[in-house]
Structure 1
Amino acid sequence: MNATAQRQLPLEPVVHSASQTELHPDLNHAHVRFSHLGKIYQGQQGPVQALSNIELAIQRGEIFGIIGRSGAGKSSLIRTINRLEQPSSGRVLIDQVDIGEFSEDRLVELRRRIGMIFQHFNLMSAKTVWQNVELPLKVAGVPREQRQRKVSELLELVGLKDKHKAYPAQLSGGQKQRVGIARALVHDPAILLCDEATSALDPETTQSILGLLREINQRLGLTIVLITHEMAVIRDICNRVVVLEKGQVVEQGPVWQVFGNPQHEVSKTLLAPLQLGLPKALLESLTPQPPHPEATLLLDLRFTGVSAEEPDLVVLFSALGGQVKLLQGSVERIQERAVGHLILSIARSPHNRDELLARARQHAPQAEVLGYVV
């Protein structure tokens, strides 16, 4: 059986009721599905609700991001996919199969179909790169010739073929994570779980690891489930994202949609480091009403991704009239959509405040007056 067939091998599907599939037609195509999932830990002060009534469907072949602040329940959720965590309530279904009642033998089979990479690499320091990658195959009883072929292929895939004799202490952080990725792929998994896989890496190395994960997703057709507390990681690699807070789903959708028009305060807080605000001096000089007729009005225009068209500044400035300046802001392309915001100053416009807002909203989905400055 080839690797692709093995990755797509179904088990015994769960039959959904007609009402479920009519309301949520994606359920019958979900690779991973959480249904009313809950997790309670027993702490010293009593029970702690880590997850509550999680309803999610992850589609085959997508890169799905799970983000939230520390303690939001990200790790608890991702670890239910390979049953490293046993849910307290609800179900986890993979290829429509409820994995909750799996025997130990079926769990071993399941975990071989699900690779996992970790924040701190989890490599064995006394073994070489080759031996670290080969170890799961040896444990599974794979013949030596097959092990050698598989390890060689994977080290070439992750760009470490010339490091096969090196030990972890001789590798950089990015190289260690590449070893971890190769090791996670030895059993041709259908799903790859990434638990804060880039949190211990510098920005440049993070980009190289994200590029490798994107390549693996496209080349092997894997479903990748990635948890992080960094919105930049979600932006750069994921197709869809769910935001967790206190064990609950507070927002979910395509990445462009959540970035372009976040609805929940947690999402807005997580996005704040990526967004430019007004300089402190300008912010302190803002007034809600014009102090005199020559005061400059500040407008914040937001592009939420509903259009793929970038703002045409010439047309926009002409529509607003007067002396228009771009103070700051940024518009980027996320999933081929224009997302971002611009802060403009407008002086001596022939249009009043309401007219300026109306004209701005013809060119941007959202616009608001920030105030006036001298």
Structure 2
Amino acid sequence: MSSASALRAPTAQASPAPAREQALRPEVNDAHVRFVGLGKTYPGQAQPALQGIDLNIRRGEIFGIIGRSGAGKSSLLRTINRLEQPSQGRVLIDQVDIAPFDEDHLVALRRRIGMIFQHFNLMSAKTVWQNVELPLKVASVAKAERQRKVRELLELVGLAHKHHVYPAQLSGGQKQRVGIARALVHDPEILLCDEATSALDPETTASILELLRDINQRLGLTIVLITHEMAVIRDICHRVLVLERGQIVEQGDVWQVFGAPRHEVTRSLLAPLQAKLPAALQANLRTSPGASDAALVLRLSLLGAPELSELFSALGGRVRLLQGGIETIGERAVGQLILSVQGSPHALPLLLERARRWADEVEVLGYVV
């Protein structure tokens, strides 16, 4: 069955979004996955796992979902291939509601949606080749086609030379590469990643992210991933969604959300990536000046790379850079600077106003002598 026919069925109940809606909301046409008023409540739980989720995931993007433990990340991800059935609302793939799909159409749909997992889920008694080939055998794909496909995928993930070995002989990164190859056997259009790098060391994580980025660009896949590792979102995703208690609290381009987080939950999640005060300075930080020579300490969140000499001149007085820097996220410059300002001629309200001309967000951390 072709991907088009898999997503059309059953025709009597699933239909594209109305033409009027598409005309009024052109972003709908770019959506590969749509959530409309999505909710999920598990039996015996008063608090919904998901509620009021309205979201478009664009075709061909890498989309990240973050949140605290229990925020609903896995529940949301698993509604895309209907491993979880929503309690309210709709999930649409290519503008088709997947709720009415019977078992046959779900099987066809899930072959169009690959999935990789944190713990690899490989069969220990089968070789690398056999692990990748197994879904094709289950789908009764001809032997010659199976061999061609497995060979191509092992080349893609850099494991052609390991085709004969067993999972116990592989590193964690190599096992995940096998999992990625297996997820791609049916030429999916969507790839779901459930904490795919959480069991890996930082160096291996970087190599897996580079592989996912290459797959996204080469095959044009839409990739949706959940993770508790904020650096993963920063390094690979185009856009990100923040969940808290099953609700969307923030979303947007990664460079913008990471550069100037708006919600307290987002700020808390991103805190490990933020510039921190040196310990000695933190110990001496006070809530009020206490002395005429006290310096005001500011944290500036930046969307762009400022001209520091002009920024320092605008603040006036003696300005020192205590901590921070600029990095590139999604080809955009973002960063944080922690500054001390001593002897500025400007009163605090005017000083903050001048700082906000350069920074998207300004926070007063305190005073030091």
Judge same fold: TM > 0.5, yes or no.
yes
In the other structure, the counterpart of 1:365 is: 360
* Correspondence 1:271 to 2:270: yes
In the other structure, the counterpart of 1:229 is: 228
Determine the C-alpha separation between the residues in 2 that align with 1:125 and 1:84.
24
Query: Any stretches of 5+ residues in structure 2 without a counterpart?
Result: none
Q: For residues 224-269 of structure 1, give each alpha carbon's deviation from its aligned partner in whole angstroms, at most 9, with x where no partner exists.
A: 0101112111111111111111111111111112112222211111
In the other structure, the counterpart of 2:202 is: 203
- Work out whether residues 7 and 188 of structure 1, in 8 Å CA contact, stay in contact via their aligned partners in 2: no
Q: For residues 82-101 of structure 1, give each alpha carbon's deviation from its aligned partner in whole angstroms, at most 9, with x where no partner exists.
A: 11111122111101111111
Scaled by the length of structure 2, the TM-score of the pair is 0.92
Larger deviation: 248-257 or 129-138?
248-257
Determine the C-alpha separation between the residues in 1 that align with 2:165 and 2:349.
67
Structure 2 counterpart SS, 1:61? coil
Structure 1 residues 152 and 276, CA gap change in structure 2 (3 angstroms): same
The within-5 A match list for 1:175-190 is 175-190=174-189
Letter in 2 for 1:97: V
- How many residues get paired? 365
Determine the C-alpha separation between the residues in 2 that align with 1:8 and 1:301.
52
In the other structure, the counterpart of 2:286 is: 287
Give the CA deviation at 1:342.
0.5
The within-5 A match list for 1:126-137 is 126-137=125-136
In the other structure, the counterpart of 1:254 is: 253
Structure 2 counterpart SS, 1:100? coil
Determine the C-alpha separation between the residues in 1 that align with 2:228 and 2:101.
31
Determine the C-alpha separation between the residues in 2 that align with 1:313 and 1:299.
15
Structure 2 counterpart SS, 1:26? helix
In the other structure, the counterpart of 2:27 is: 26
Determine the C-alpha separation between the residues in 2 that align with 1:127 and 1:266.
43
Determine the C-alpha separation between the residues in 2 that align with 1:330 and 1:206.
24
Letter in 1 for 2:173: G
Determine the C-alpha separation between the residues in 2 that align with 1:133 and 1:142.
13
Larger deviation: 334-343 or 289-298?
289-298
* Correspondence 1:311 to 2:306: yes
The within-5 A match list for 1:1-374 is 11=8, 14-17=15-18, 20-21=21-22, 24-43=25-44, 46-303=45-302, 305=303, 309-374=304-369
Larger deviation: 346-355 or 28-37?
346-355
- Work out whether residues 63 and 240 of structure 1, in 8 Å CA contact, stay in contact via their aligned partners in 2: yes
Structure 1 counterpart SS, 2:51? strand
Structure 1 residues 358 and 133, CA gap change in structure 2 (3 angstroms): same
Scaled by the length of structure 1, the TM-score of the pair is 0.91
Letter in 2 for 1:25: P
Structure 1 residues 47 and 298, CA gap change in structure 2 (3 angstroms): closer
- Provide the identity percentage: 70
Determine the C-alpha separation between the residues in 2 that align with 1:299 and 1:153.
54
Determine the C-alpha separation between the residues in 1 that align with 2:4 and 2:318.
60
- Work out whether residues 189 and 222 of structure 2, in 8 Å CA contact, stay in contact via their aligned partners in 1: yes
Structure 1 residues 321 and 8, CA gap change in structure 2 (3 angstroms): farther
- Work out whether residues 7 and 113 of structure 1, in 8 Å CA contact, stay in contact via their aligned partners in 2: no
Larger deviation: 257-266 or 121-130?
257-266
Larger deviation: 125-134 or 29-38?
29-38
Q: For residues 344-366 of structure 1, give each alpha carbon's deviation from its aligned partner in whole angstroms, at most 9, with x where no partner exists.
A: 12234444434433433333233
Give the CA deviation at 1:325.
1.6
Structure 1 residues 265 and 115, CA gap change in structure 2 (3 angstroms): same
Structure 1 residues 35 and 26, CA gap change in structure 2 (3 angstroms): same
Determine the C-alpha separation between the residues in 1 that align with 2:164 and 2:117.
22
Query: Any stretches of 5+ residues in structure 1 without a counterpart?
Result: none
Structure 2 counterpart SS, 1:256? helix
Give the CA deviation at 1:138.
0.8
Determine the C-alpha separation between the residues in 2 that align with 1:363 and 1:331.
14
Structure 2 counterpart SS, 1:126? coil
Give the CA deviation at 1:118.
0.3
- Work out whether residues 6 and 188 of structure 1, in 8 Å CA contact, stay in contact via their aligned partners in 2: no
Cα RMSD after superposing both structures = 2.2
Determine the C-alpha separation between the residues in 1 that align with 2:199 and 2:180.
15
Structure 1 residues 115 and 7, CA gap change in structure 2 (3 angstroms): farther
Determine the C-alpha separation between the residues in 2 that align with 1:78 and 1:26.
21
Structure 1 counterpart SS, 2:99? helix
Structure 2 counterpart SS, 1:82? coil
- Work out whether residues 299 and 369 of structure 1, in 8 Å CA contact, stay in contact via their aligned partners in 2: yes
Give the CA deviation at 1:282.
2.2
Larger deviation: 293-302 or 74-83?
293-302
Structure 1 residues 7 and 159, CA gap change in structure 2 (3 angstroms): farther
Determine the C-alpha separation between the residues in 1 that align with 2:80 and 2:160.
31
Structure 1 counterpart SS, 2:116? strand
Structure 2 counterpart SS, 1:101? coil
Determine the C-alpha separation between the residues in 1 that align with 2:160 and 2:16.
45
Determine the C-alpha separation between the residues in 2 that align with 1:127 and 1:290.
68
Letter in 1 for 2:17: H
Determine the C-alpha separation between the residues in 1 that align with 2:298 and 2:167.
53
Structure 2 counterpart SS, 1:282? helix
